[in-house]
Amino acid sequence: MSILVSGATGFIALHVVSDLLKQDYKVIGTVRSQEKANKLRKQFDNNPNLSFELVSDIAAPEAFDKVFKKHGKDIKVVLHTASPVTVETTNYEKDLLLPAVNGTKSILESIKKYAADSVERVVITSSYASVMNVSKEGDGSIVYTEKDWNPATWENCQIDGLNAYCGSKKLAEKAAWDFFEENKNVVKFKMSTINPTYVFGPQLFDEDVNDKLNASCELINSIVKNNPQVEYLLENVKGHFVDVRDVAKAHLVAFQKDEAVGRRLLTSNGRFAYQDLVDVINEDFPQLKGKVIVGKPGTGKQSYGTFPGINNNRSKEILGFEFISLHKTVHDTAAQVLKKEGKL
Ligand code: NDP
C-alpha cells in the first residue's frame, strides 16, 4: 500500500514525506517537473520507498487522473498539501483560487473515478485562514475554534492578496467537505483536514535555505537578514504559530487515529507578536548584535489582546502530542539560516 502526497516539494510536505518514510510507508509524491523529482530523489538518498509522479498544474482539469489510473488500487491514503501560498499577486483567480479549489476538487474526483474502493483516508492541508474572518482581525474579543468558518466568497475575497489567499483556503476546504458529503456513499474514504496557523521551523534540508524562504518562514528570515521591510512587519505582524514538525506529525495522526475522522484539526501553539520573534533572535544569537532590529524587547505580549484568540483544545486532545514552543521554532528557523551563512 502507498500514500500519495501532493505537492511533495513543499516546505510542510517535505517534513510529512520524511516522517512517512521513517515509519516505513511507501510514498508517492506529486511534483511539478522531472527536475524537482530528481532533486528530491537524491535528497532522500534514493530511498526505494519513495517514488514520484508529475502533476505540473493542479488547476488543470483532471490533473490527478493519470496518477490514480496508474496507482489507484495501491493508494490507501491521500495527503493533499499542494496549494499556492502567496499574498503577492493581483491575479487572484489564476494564482490562488483556481489552483486551490480545482486542485482539491480534482484530486477527490480522481479518487472517486479510479480508487473509490481502495483509498481509505484523505487528509486535506487546509489552514487557519479557512477558520478566521479577515475583516475581524482587529477584534480581540473573538475566540475561534474548529467550528468556525471564514465567511469569504469567491467574489468578495478578491480585494487583496491576503483576502484572496484566505478565501482560496476556505473555498478549497469547503469544496472538500461538500464533495465528501455528496459522495460519502460512493467513496470508501474518511476525511480530515489540518488547519495550521503560521508555520515556522527549519527546512527539512539545509541546502534548501535560499535567500528568500517560503512565505511563513520568511518572517523570521527577514529579521536575520535585516531586510528593509522589518520595520513594517514589526508594526503589523501578529498571529498564532505552530512548528512545521508538529504540522507534519499531525498529518500522520490524522489518518492513523480514528478520533481524527471527520475533524478539522486546528494546529496552533499560541499567539505571537513580531516583537517576540525579534526578541528570540536577539537573545539567542549575540553574533547579530547591532545588525538586526531590536524594537522594544519584552513588549510583544502587550498586543495579544488586539487580535482574535484560538481555542484548539479539542484538536490538541485528538493529536495527543506536546507542541514545540515559540522559542524553539524561532530559534531553529534562524539557526538554520545562520548555519547556511556560516555565522553559527
Ligand atoms: P510551499 O509553497 O512550500 O508548498 C506548496 C506546494 O504546492 C509546493 O509543492 C508547490 O509546488 C505546490 N503547488 C502550488 N501551486 C501549484 C500548482 N498550481 N500546481 C502544482 N503544484 C502546486 O508552502 P507550504 O509548505 O507552506 O504549504 C503547504 C500547504 O500548507 C498549503 O496548502 C498551504 O496553504 C498550507 N498552509 C501553510 C501555512 C504556512 O504558514 N506555511 C499555514 C497554513 C496552511 P512547487 O514547489 O513546485 O512550487
pTM (2 decimals)?
Answer: 0.98
d(CA 202, CA 337): 9
CA of 260 to the centre of ligand 1 (A): 23
Q: Please tell me if the CB atom of residue 52 comes closer than 6 angstroms to any atom of ligand 1.
A: no
**Could you tell me the pLDDT band of residue 111, with boundaries at 50, 70 and 90?**
very high
**Could you tell me the pLDDT band of residue 78, with boundaries at 50, 70 and 90?**
very high
Q: Please tell me if the CB atom of residue 81 comes closer than 6 angstroms to any atom of ligand 1.
A: yes
d(CA 328, CA 138): 27
Q: Which residue has the cell 534562524?
A: 334
Average pLDDT value over all residues in the chain: 98
Side-chain half-sphere CA neighbours of 127 within 13 A: 25
Active site residue 169: yes
pLDDT tens string 124-179: 999 999 999 999 999 999 999 999 999 999 999 999 999 999 999 999 999 999 99
CA of 7 to the centre of ligand 1 (A): 7
Q: Which grid cell is 233?
A: 512587519
Give the residue, out of 9, 85, 97, with the most ligand 1 atoms within 8 A of its beta carbon, to mutate for a pocket test: 85
Using CA atoms, how far residue 86 sits from 160, 323, 339, in Å, is 11, 25, 26
What was the pLDDT predicted at 115? 98
Which residue's CA lies nearest to atom 47 of ligand 1?
32
What was the pLDDT predicted at 210? 96
- Cα-Cα end-to-end distance for the chain: 42
- Helix 98-114 and helix 161-183: axis angle, to 10°? 20
d(CA 334, CA 277): 10
What was the pLDDT predicted at 79? 99
Task: Provide mean pLDDT across the span 3-27.
Answer: 98
